[in-house]
Chains A and B, each alone.
Chain A
Amino acid sequence: MASHPRFSAQTLSVLAALCDQPSLWQHGYALAKQTGLKSGTLYPVLIRLADQGLVEACWQDEPQPGRPRRHLYRLTAAGLASATGALASTAGPAPEPAAVRAGARRTRAAPAGRGTVAGVIP
């Protein structure tokens, strides 16, 4: 059986959030809302995952008027495999995003600007 790297609970929650729709690019703020993590925790996790080649990042093609371009994230193929394995091998149920654990209804509406990055999605 393939071994998966050990991830922290925060990292697992980010992976779980990214695993929801692995083909879609997601924004940092949306991830923060899904996972309940603060920016000071979320971004170091994303940076480490990107360093390990598990997450890829890019800049939004067209910014919203009056706002800077946003940074987008999604799992790589290796990241998806690693996340799936890690989430499956956790003892209990896969760590749900904090918003889900809290019973809040997850915002399914596409974040602003997502449409503009549709071309980026292969």
Chain B
Amino acid sequence: MNRLNRAAAAARHAAAWLLPAGRRDWAAAVWAEAHQVPPGLARLAWRAGGVWVLAREALMPRRLGRVVVFAAAAAVAAWAAWPDSSVLHADADQFGVIATVLLLAGLPLLARRFFGPVSDSRIARFLRAASYAVILALMPAVAVVAPYPLTVPQRGAELRVFIAGGNATHGMPGTSAGGPPWPGEIFFLALTACYVVVILWLTSRRSSVAPATLAAGTGAGIVFGLVMYSVAPLGLTQYASNPWLPGSQVDPLVALAWILLFGGPAAAGVLAAGWYCRRPDSIKLAQARAGQGIVAGVVANLVGALFVTVAGTGIIALTIKVARLRPLVYHAAHQSEAAAYGHVLHASEHVGTYVVMCVAFPLIGLVMSSLGVACTMPVPRQSGPQPGDGGGGPPGPEPAPDPPDGGRRAEAEADADRLLVPV
């Protein structure tokens, strides 16, 4: 019996680290109370109940739940993205799938050590979960789209369009040259790792990125992504004949997309900086304020790039896999199937542009939000008495400072140092 009690105690100690901080007292409470229970089966049953409480509180709703959801989503994504071993570069593609899943699973564990756990704010959790969902969704989409421009159609009009498009040297009909070779795969992995690390840092507790900053950046990014996607919803092609847009290159929406690409991060940066601290009264706070603004701008274009990439690549992959969809999405009065195939082929050939966007957009966001924040940076107030503060009498007690920004200034001061290091 003692052995069983010891085993139950060991199980409790092993599982205690899984508990969120607010639940550890409860686990200790069940265990402490076991000393009041008569020894024997009753005490063992009490402790078994305690282990159940641990499992219920720690494993099921929190970490285990997230792990199970991630594992299921990753398994589905990997299964859908797993390349046929008959195509060229299949080994590189298979390595890419495995490495992406390992990156997504392993980097949070590493990040937890350096950045701390995920922030408590809803927006941080949403951003982290949504980014993971986007990256997982991209895996099968890329696996479908990447080999498509190099897959020779078997017969008919599609084969003629393929050859006419200058793709005559890619092999025999029915064959595929596969996805990107090793250098492309490694670059894609490196880019994915960069995105994951940035997202993990932004949404971690130690980054001190304010929830309002994430909200401003994410909001601006979603608006930008929606507009950008509306400009070219069927991939980055020159064929804009689609059900949603007339396809004019001078469409006001195109102009709006350009404005949002450069102006969105600047606006998000100014907004986030203002929310963080309207009138900084120290250099340190001013620097932290600027850091929040810059982060908001980067988040805006990062979210926009992710949104456009997953939506664009996803719709191309859908039109490739579901041929019946093509006449619906390539909306034209007299469009043949061959012409629709040509559009899909053209779109898939240019899917690499999304990679360029994923690299360039956050950098543009960084530059534009820095400019925006710098242009609107208020001069820090000098501490101490100001001219015109009071008349001749003796100095009274210090007035209580206004609670600025929802009373977050003290917290902001404390966080300022930490924030500035990674920014």
Contact with B along A30-42 (1 / 0, CB 8 A): 0010000011111
| B165 vs chain A, min Cβ distance (A) | 62
Instruction: Give Cα distance in the complex from A70 to B33, angstroms.
Output: 6
Complex contact A39–B36 (CB within 8 A): no
Complex contact A41–B49 (CB within 8 A): yes
Contact with A along B1-31 (1 / 0, CB 8 A): 0000000000000000000000101101111
| B9 vs chain A, min Cβ distance (A) | 12
Given contacts A43-B26, A57-B25, A71-B25, whether A29 and B48 have CB atoms under 8 Å apart is no
Complex contact A70–B36 (CB within 8 A): yes
Which residue in B26, B28, B33, B53 is a CB contact (below 8 Å) of A29? Answer: B33
The yes or no answer to A27 lying at the interface (CB within 8 A) is: yes
Most chain B beta-carbon contacts within 10 A, residue among A29, A69, A111: A29
Complex contact A44–B53 (CB within 8 A): yes
The yes or no answer to A68 lying at the interface (CB within 8 A) is: yes
The yes or no answer to A91 lying at the interface (CB within 8 A) is: no
| A53 vs chain B, min Cβ distance (A) | 14
Complex contact A29–B49 (CB within 8 A): no
Most chain A beta-carbon contacts within 10 A, residue among B30, B32, B46, B48: B32
In the complex, which residues of chain A have a beta carbon less than 8 angstroms from the beta carbon of B52?
40
Complex contact B45–A29 (CB within 8 A): no
| B290 vs chain A, min Cβ distance (A) | 39
Given contacts A41-B49, A43-B49, whether A112 and B25 have CB atoms under 8 Å apart is no
Given contacts A39-B46, A40-B48, whether A47 and B26 have CB atoms under 8 Å apart is yes
Complex contact B49–A68 (CB within 8 A): no
Complex contact B26–A39 (CB within 8 A): no
Complex contact B33–A44 (CB within 8 A): no
Given contacts A47-B57, A70-B36, A71-B32, whether A40 and B49 have CB atoms under 8 Å apart is yes
Complex contact A29–B37 (CB within 8 A): yes
The yes or no answer to A22 lying at the interface (CB within 8 A) is: no
Complex contact B36–A43 (CB within 8 A): no
Most chain A beta-carbon contacts within 10 A, residue among B28, B30, B36, B53: B36
- 8 further A-B contacts with Cβ under 8 Å, apart from A43-B30, A68-B31, A70-B33, are A27-B33, A29-B37, A29-B46, A38-B45, A38-B46, A43-B53, A44-B57, A47-B23
Residue contacts A-B, CB under 8 angstroms, 6 given: A38-B46, A40-B50, A43-B26, A57-B25, A68-B32, A70-B29
